[in-house]
Amino acid sequence: MKYGDDFVESFRVQGFVSGIRVRDRQGADAVRECWDALEAAEDLPANGYSTTHSRHLDQRFVWDLACDPKILDPVEALIGENILLFGTRFFCKYGDSGRHRVSWHQDLDSWALTPPVAVTVWYAVDDSTEQNGCMQVIPGSHRAELRRHDTTADNGNILGRGQHLHLTEEEKASAVPVVLNAGEISIHDGALLHASMPNLSNRRRCGLAIRYVPAHVRQHADLAKSPPSKAILVRGCDRVKNFGVNHAPVFS
């Protein structure tokens, strides 16, 4: 599918797009079954939530999603034809006491990229609704400067460093939910203000965040707040190799 000027302009203005289907019902069920098996094998539902990083390196279903043309095509329209997979992370919230959430933040706060260009694809493993804590975004907030994040410890915040932003009441009132059916994706700019509220339902809400950067960006490892990325080329070419040469995983 081709993504034209209207698609790109909407993203430029709003900072996100949503409701792009990349798996039909059968395909979405297959992804969910793969996650269910991984979840059971590794006893991931601890403490009412689970997150797990970089599973594209050892789980074929994650790698296949990250390289799917149905995802890479819209990403290419937004950041260009030379695309590096910067990282992946599952976010899974279970129907508990409603304590666990993802605080308001900007993805680029943690990645130390120059220039600061990145997008996050959020793939819905399960249906993601307001009741089970879907992502919320503040449209247009990516056009302002990156903010300084606080890192106050908070056991309810799923983010690893406890990073969070203090929003005004006006900003909170402008937030919109990103409701997705299983098998659909949203894409948001790395500078967009976003969060997700607690899961108040009795249904799990699992999603896979897939991060992409254009091949010309670089990362200042000495300034990064998370480990340097072993970014992998997934489309186009990488002439500058700012992340070195990191090969695609091999699955038996």
The CA distance from 186 to 120, in Å, is 8
Q: Does the pLDDT at position 143 exceed 80?
A: yes
Tally helices (H) and strands (E) across the chain.
Answer: 5, 13
Which domains does the chain carry?
A: 5-221 (2.60.120.620)
| 210 three-class SS | strand
The CA distance from 37 to 168, in Å, is 41
Paired tokens of 165: 């932003």
> In the prediction, which pLDDT does 223 show?
62
Residue with the bigger pLDDT between 154 and 21: it is 21
Averaged pLDDT, 145-154: 68
> In the prediction, which pLDDT does 212 show?
98
Paired tokens of 168: 């005004």
> In the prediction, which pLDDT does 68 show?
98
Q: Would you tell me how many other CB atoms lie within 10 Å of the CB of residue 38?
A: 17
| 218 three-class SS | strand
The CA distance from 86 to 113, in Å, is 11
Neighbour-count burial of 4, counting CB atoms closer than 10 A to its CB (0-12 exposed, 13-18 middle, 19+ buried): exposed
> In the prediction, which pLDDT does 46 show?
53
pLDDT (tens digit, 9 = 90+) per residue, 94-130?
876 567 777 788 888 778 899 999 999 999 999 999 9
> In the prediction, which pLDDT does 59 show?
95
> In the prediction, which pLDDT does 43 show?
80
Which range has the top average pLDDT, 142-146, 157-161, 164-168? 142-146
Residue with the bigger pLDDT between 25 and 53: it is 25
Predicted confidence band at 205 (pLDDT cuts at 50, 70, 90)?
very high
> In the prediction, which pLDDT does 42 show?
85
Predicted confidence band at 228 (pLDDT cuts at 50, 70, 90)?
confident
Averaged pLDDT, 35-39: 91
